[in-house]
Structure 1
Amino acid sequence: MKRVSAAFAVLLSFSAVPGFAQDAGALPAAQHNRQKIVVLDGTLSPSSHDTSYANGYFTIRNDDDVDHLLKGVSSPICSSITAHHTNQEQTQATNDLFSHLSLPHNSEMIFPPSGYHLLCSGITKSLQQGEKIPFTFQFLDGDSVTIGFAVKSVK
């Protein structure tokens, strides 16, 4: 399996789609869809400076023999979701990363604290450590994957 750096991902426009509330206890920590795409290791770290923001970290893997396209990420607690890079200047292209992210066949992309990751802004509820928050990843063919991001403590 080849490993692809998120820094080389396609950077285009993004629009967050409102999600549906789900029973947090029933959210899987990892899930495949019919396209053989799995999202796993989702964590959400609330900002220590502003409670209306949180950073999301995850891994996305395409176990299929064909490329796929991520067209959006949504969560019922986020007014908007954009991409963020810890050590680089923010641009519109950076913000829009998750609207047209190419997922090469048989590859894995990691979105860690020290690189590209998602920024949940306009949080609509108080976050509790250990709680699982649903995030839905939508793909070009209309399929999606929803997993629970575990809330970590504020650092």
Structure 2
Amino acid sequence: MKPLYQAILACALISLTAPRTTHAQEHGSGQSVPGQADAQQDIAITDISLHLPSTQGGGRTELYFSLTNNSHTTHLLTGVVSPACGTLVGYHTDQENTSGTRSLFQHLALPETTTLVFAGAGYHMLCVNPVAQVLTQPNVAVTFQFLGGSSKTVSAPVTSATQ
């Protein structure tokens, strides 16, 4: 009889864990995350600019900005995209750039009531495969994506290193 009770208990435990697995999959499929649905309303993006290198083929196109979380909820930045760049990746001016640095802006926590500054002298974004046609415009769109599915698009002035 003892093995029968063990089998019943094992089946019961397995059935209790199955719904949790399904729920976690729903979480990752774009469902709203509690407290995260309107992150774009809580986050201010300021001091944004896309800096072109001083010479054609000599230097990097870099994106600088500040993020301010005005709420009492921590939010998570899950990506940054722009039609001006094939890809935007994390970069640090004075440190070794690893895969963790490159993917920094795909999982960046924005603490409550805090401002994070991403300027040329530290962490910022590198524009990989810049799109020359788009960079001839005075401003380019940059979209910041947040956990929970919200996003915020801002206009970034394009500046050359000579300005």
Alignment of 1:32-111 (within 5 A): 33-34=40-41, 36-49=42-55, 50=57, 53-111=60-118
SS in 2 for 1:33: helix
Matched residues in 2 for 1:33 and 1:48: separation?
33
Deviation at 1:52, TM superposition (A): 8.9
Note the aligned Cα RMSD (angstroms).
1.9
Q: Deviations over 1:49-107 (max 9, x none)?
A: 52794101000000011100000000012111101111111111011100000000000
Deviation at 1:148, TM superposition (A): 1.0
- Give the AA of the match of 2:50: L
- Give the AA of the match of 1:154: A
Matched residues in 1 for 2:70 and 2:157: separation?
24
Give unmatched runs, 5+ long, in structure 2.
1-38
Q: Give the number of the structure whose alpha-carbon radius of gyration is greater.
A: 2
- Give the AA of the match of 1:40: T
- How many pairs were matched up? 122
Deviation at 1:41, TM superposition (A): 1.1
- Give the AA of the match of 1:143: S
SS in 1 for 2:144: strand
Match of 1:142 in 2: 149
Q: State TM-score, norm by structure 2.
A: 0.69
Deviation at 1:154, TM superposition (A): 2.6
Q: State TM-score, norm by structure 1.
A: 0.73
Identity, in percent, stands at: 36
SS in 2 for 1:113: coil
Deviation at 1:116, TM superposition (A): 0.3
Matched residues in 1 for 2:59 and 2:141: separation?
17
Q: 1:146 to 1:51 in 2, by over 3 A?
A: farther
Deviation at 1:48, TM superposition (A): 2.9
Match of 2:15 in 1: none
Identify the structure with bigger relative contact order (alpha carbons < 8 Å, sequence gap 6+).
1
Give unmatched runs, 5+ long, in structure 1.
1-31
- Give the AA of the match of 1:43: S
More helix by share: 2
Matched residues in 2 for 1:90 and 1:72: separation?
18
Matched residues in 1 for 2:63 and 2:79: separation?
14
Q: Which runs of 4+ in 1 moved over 4 A?
A: none
